[in-house]
Amino acid sequence: MHDRRVIERYLSEGLAPDAEARLRAHLRGCVSCRSWYDQQVLLLRALAGRPDSPTVREERRAERLALAAIAPRAEPTSQRSWGVWPVLRDGVGVLRLRGRPWRVVAIAVAAVLLMVGIVGELVLRPAPPVHAARVVRATGLAVDAKPAQRGGEVNAGSLIQVGAKGFAELAVERGGLVRLYPNTSATLDGGGEGVNLGAGKVWCLVDRDRGVFIVRTDRGQARVLGTSFVVEKLSKGDMEVRVMAGSVAVEDTGHRGERVVTAGQKTLVARDAAPSPPSAYSGEVDSEEWGLLEFFKAIGRAFKGAFESIFER
């Protein structure tokens, strides 16, 4: 009589008295069928939403089976902490448990596992890195604590560090070139849209047609459309902006004020203060460290020699 469909029909619809008597007699002597019967009782109680109290109909059946020395075992309740019972109750409670209830349970469990897998995949999958710049020239440069050389890629958020005797030129993705001086540390925004300067000095020449470019420090920020300018974080943490060409809008982090600095001018952003009024700036110091001709030639190298041939004629 090893027909589990008879047990399923007994649990869901009931049997005729003679068929029920034959089933009780079979369960007394068949270990495998009795074990499977116990599992079905546990699942029915779970689907009823009360794993610790059987239904009235199950109580009547348990009493009859007890007379035959077959008492159903109590199921564990530790699953409550994971919310399994509420999910099964709400997801399957609307179904009529007829025919094969174990199939309904299997479908519900598979659906829950599928949802957990999809959510886990979306949440745990790391976001792909965003390219920000390419190394044009470098000495003593490290990106995320690893040595970087010409042609290397720099992703957004990667820590860029230049040693005491080093320098670096980066062709940013949005168009333009950024030079980092000795003892400089910085990160780049996604797509090379800006520089976050932690220490040192950067000189930027950015493409006017690619939108706003921003250099930030903990004192303020400098916003430009297309120009040549230097941003330096001084020893006390103050931010100095010096403009060689074009104009730069400078604002402190506290939004106390904004200054527009034009070619040949500079401004200082001190702690807890608005940018100082623009003052004259000759540009000789920065030009001596890195001549303008060399800077434009570097731009040519960054764009595969498009400009370099002009300056070498």
176-180 and 160-172 as β-strands: parallel, antiparallel, unpaired? antiparallel
Q: Note the pLDDT of residue 182.
A: 92
For residue 273, the domain's CATH number is 2.60.120.1440
Reported as a single tens digit per residue, the pLDDT across 151-162 is 999 998 899 999
Digit-coded pLDDT (tens) for 282-301 = 765 565 555 554 555 555 55
Given phi > 0 = left and psi -120 to 50 = alpha, else beta, which region is 39? alpha
- What is the tens place of the pLDDT at every residue in 133-175? 899 988 999 999 999 989 999 998 899 999 998 989 998 888 8
Residue 120 shares a structural domain with residue 148: no
Indicate the residue type of 239. M
**What integer is the mean pLDDT of 64-83?**
46
Question: Looking at the structure, do residues 206 and 234 belong to the same domain, yes or no?
Answer: yes
* pLDDT value for 38: 77
Q: What band does 74 get if pLDDT is binned at 50, 70 and 90? A: very low
Neighbours of 186 (CB within 10 A): 26
Contacts 24+ apart (CB under 8 A), 76-82: 77/51, 77/52, 79/51, 80/51
**Do residue 81 and residue 142 come from a single domain?**
no
CA 110 remoteness from chain centre: 27
178 and 300 inside one domain = yes
Return the minimum-mean-pLDDT range out of 191-195, 201-205, 240-244: 191-195
- Both 178 and 269 in one domain: the answer is yes
Pair 307, 226 in one domain:
yes
- Report the first-to-last Cα separation within the chain, whole angstroms: 100
Answer yes or no: do 167 and 229 share one domain. Answer: yes
Contact 244, 229 (CB under 8 A): yes
The answer to whether 171 and 177 are in contact (CB under 8 A) is: yes
Domain-terminating residue out of 84, 104, 124: 124
Q: Which domain holds residue 81?
A: 4-124
Do 116 and 158 share a structural domain?
A: no
Domain boundary among 89, 124, 159: 124
How many domains does the structure of the chain reveal? Answer: 2
Bridge partners, 231 (sequence order): 202, 241
| C-alpha to C-alpha distance for 165 and 139, rounded to whole angstroms | 8
Distance of CA 187 to the CA centre of its chain: 18
Same domain, 270 and 288: yes
Q: Are residues 81 and 159 in the same domain?
A: no
Distance CA 269, CA 44 (A): 72
Buried-exposed string 274-296: b where 16+ CB fall within 10 A, e elsewhere: bbbebeebebeebeeebeeeebb
Structure tokens at 222: 């400098």
Instruction: Check residues 229 and 55 and name the one with the higher pLDDT.
Output: 229
**Within this chain, do residues 70 and 168 fall inside the same structural domain, yes or no?**
no
User: Across the chain, what does the average pLDDT equal?
Assistant: 73
Q: Which of 84, 101, 124 is the last residue of a domain?
A: 124
Higher-scoring residue by pLDDT: 310, 271:
271
Give the pTM: 0.53
- As a whole number, mean pLDDT of residues 25-40 equals 78
Same domain (yes/no): 56, 166: no
pLDDT higher for 29 or 196?
196
- Mean pLDDT in residue range 56-63: 52
